Structure 1
Amino acid sequence: MDLKLKDRVVVITGPAKGMGAAITRAFAAEGSRLALLGRDVAAIEPVAAEIRAGGAEAIVVACDITRGEACDAAIAETKAAFGGRVDVLVNVAGGSGPIGKTGWETTEAEFDEIVDLNMRGCFNTMRACLPTMIAQRDGKIVNVGGTFGMRGRAGRMAYSASKWGLRGITKSFALEAGPFNINVNCVAPGMVDGPRFRGKVVPEMAARLGITEEQAVQKHAADYALRRVSTDEDVAHACLFLASEVSRQISGVDLPVDGGWAML
C-alpha cells in the first residue's frame, strides 16, 4: 500500500535514539524529506548519516523544544531547506520524570521539568508548524504520549500528569485545526523493549521476585492481551499510519501501542 509519504516534509523531534530513531528510519524508508530536531545535534548526526547513506534527504536542526522562539527558528530553517512546506510533525522528544516517587514526594522542580518538556515542548512545536499547515490546507501531527497518561501509574505521577495533559492538547488542537484539513492524533506506547527495559525494568523485577530475567520478560508480557512487549518499530508503524493518507478520517484519537493493556 502506498502511504503517500514520499517527498512529504516531516519534522521529527527526539530522533537520536530508541523509538525516535526507529520513527526516523521508517519515514526515510517511505521517501520523506526529514528535518530532525533536538538539543544535542551530535547525537542526531549518526542517525542522519545512516538514512542519508540509504538515499534519504535529511537536515539536522538544533532546537530546545521548551523554548518557543527556538521552535519558530527551527521551523523557519526547515521551510527554507524544503521549499516552504511542513507536511508532518511527529513529536517524540520527551522525558520520564521521577520514577518510584509518590506524588507528595515529588518536588515542584521535578514536576515542572517533566511537564515543561512533555507538554510545553509539544505545544511549542505545534504552534510553530500550524500556520504553515493552515496556509497549505494540509497537515498531519502525531504526538507520542504514553499509556500511563491513559490509566495513571503509582510512582509516576508527574509523568502521568504530563501525558494526560498532552492528550488534552492533542484533542483541542484536533478540533481547532480540523477545518483546515489537518489531522492531530496521539500514539501512546506502553513499555517498549529496549535498553531501559532490558537494563533496568527486567533486572529489577527479576531481583525482586527471585526469578530469571527471561522469566521477568515473560511475566511482564503476560500483562498484555497479545503476550508480547512492544518494539520501537511497532510505535514507528503507528506513526506512519497516522501521518499517512490512509488515516485521513481519523483525528483526535489516542492510539495505544501496547499489545492490549491500556484499553482492556
Structure 2
Amino acid sequence: MDLQLKDKVVLITGPAKGMGSAVTLAFAKEGARLVLAGRDTAAIEPVAQQARALDVEVIVVPCDLTQSAQTEALAARALDVFGRIDVLVNVAGGSGPIGKTGWETTAEEFDEIVQLNMKGCFNTMHAVLPSMIERRSGKVVNVGGTFGMRGRAGRMAYSASKWGLRGITKSFALEAGPYGINVNCVAPGMVDGPRFREKVCANMASKLGITLEDAMQRHAADYALRRVSTDADVAHACLFMASEVSRQITGVDLPVDGGWAAL
C-alpha cells in the first residue's frame, strides 16, 4: 500500500535513539523529507546520515523542546528550508523515576518529566500548528505510553505526564479538526531496547532476585500476545497515523502493546 508520504515534510523530535531512530528511518524509507530536532545534534547525525543514504533531504536542528523560543525557531527553520510542515511526530520523551512510589518521587523529578513529556509536545504543536492551519492540512502524531492509559505503580510521574499528553492531544484534535488537521497519540507499551532492558527489567530483576531474562518474560506475560513490542512496531503505527490511510481518525490513543491497555 502506498502511504503517500513521499516528499512530505516530516518534523521528528527525539530522532536519535531507540524508537526515535526507527521512526526516522521508517519515514525516510517512505521518501519523506525530514527535519530532525533534539538537544544532542551529534547523536542525531548518524541517523541523519542513514536517512540521507536513502536519498532523502534531511536537516538537523538543535532544539531544547522545553524552551518555547527554541521550538518556535525550529518551526521557522523548517518552513524556511522546506516551505511547509506536513507532519509533526513527537517522539522525544523521558522515563522519569522507575520503581519509586508517588511519595518517594521528588518534586524535582516530577517537574522534570512533566516538562519534557507534556510541555515539550505542547511547545512543538504550538509552533507548528499555525502554518498547518493556514494550509488547512497537517498531521500530528504524539508518542505517549500505555501507562498513561491504565497507570502503573512505581511509575507515577511518567504515568501522570502521559495522561496529561492524552488530554493535550484530544483538545488539540478538537480545535484543529475544523482545519483538516489530524492529531493522534500512539501509545507504546514496553518497547524492547536498552532502556527497557537496562532500566525497567534490571529494576524488576533486582527487586525480585531473578534474572534479566526472567524479568523480560514476566513483562511479556502481561500482554495478550505474550511478546514485548519492538521499535519497528511503534514506527509502523506512526506511519499509519501520519498517512492519508488514517484520514478519518483523530483524537485517539492507539496502543501498541500486544494487548494490555485496551483489554
State TM-score, norm by structure 2. 0.96
Partner of 1:192: 191
Measure how far apart 1:191 and its partner are: 0.4
Partner of 1:173: 172
Partner of 2:56: 56
Measure how far apart 1:106 and its partner are: 1.6
Matching residue's letter, 1:25: L
Pair 67,259 (structure 1): closer, same or farther in 2 beyond 3 Å? same
Measure how far apart 1:206 and its partner are: 4.2
Matching residue's letter, 1:220: H
Measure how far apart 1:196 and its partner are: 2.1
Q: Deviations over 1:43-71 (max 9, x none)?
A: 10010011111212110001111011101
For residues 148 and 38 of structure 1, what CA distance do their matches in structure 2 show? 24
Pair 152,38 (structure 1): closer, same or farther in 2 beyond 3 Å? same
Partner of 1:105: 104
Measure how far apart 1:197 and its partner are: 2.2
Alignment of 1:61-210 (within 5 A): 61-82=61-82, 84-210=83-209
For residues 153 and 52 of structure 2, what CA distance do their matches in structure 1 show? 42
Partner of 1:38: 38
CA RMSD of aligned residues (A): 1.3
Equivalent residues of 2:98, 2:200 under 8 A apart: no
Structure 1: 4+ residue segments shifted above 4 A: 206-212
Measure how far apart 1:105 and its partner are: 1.8
Q: Deviations over 1:57-103 (max 9, x none)?
A: 11000111101110110111111111x10000000111111112211
Pair 210,119 (structure 1): closer, same or farther in 2 beyond 3 Å? closer
**Other structure's SS at 2:159 match:** helix
For residues 58 and 164 of structure 2, what CA distance do their matches in structure 1 show? 31
For residues 134 and 73 of structure 2, what CA distance do their matches in structure 1 show? 18
Partner of 1:260: 259
Measure how far apart 1:209 and its partner are: 4.4
**Other structure's SS at 1:146 match:** coil
Alignment of 1:10-49 (within 5 A): 10-49=10-49
Matching residue's letter, 1:47: V
For residues 96 and 216 of structure 2, what CA distance do their matches in structure 1 show? 23
For residues 162 and 217 of structure 1, what CA distance do their matches in structure 2 show? 24
Stretches of structure 1 lacking an aligned partner (at least 5 in a row): none
Stretches of structure 2 lacking an aligned partner (at least 5 in a row): none
For residues 34 and 137 of structure 2, what CA distance do their matches in structure 1 show? 17
For residues 49 and 39 of structure 1, what CA distance do their matches in structure 2 show? 17
Percent identity, aligned pairs only, is 77
**Other structure's SS at 1:3 match:** coil
Matching residue's letter, 2:165: L
Matching residue's letter, 2:106: T
For residues 221 and 74 of structure 1, what CA distance do their matches in structure 2 show? 38
Pair 109,207 (structure 1): closer, same or farther in 2 beyond 3 Å? closer
Q: Deviations over 1:188-246 (max 9, x none)?
A: 00000011223343344445545544343333211100111000000000000000000
Measure how far apart 1:133 and its partner are: 0.3
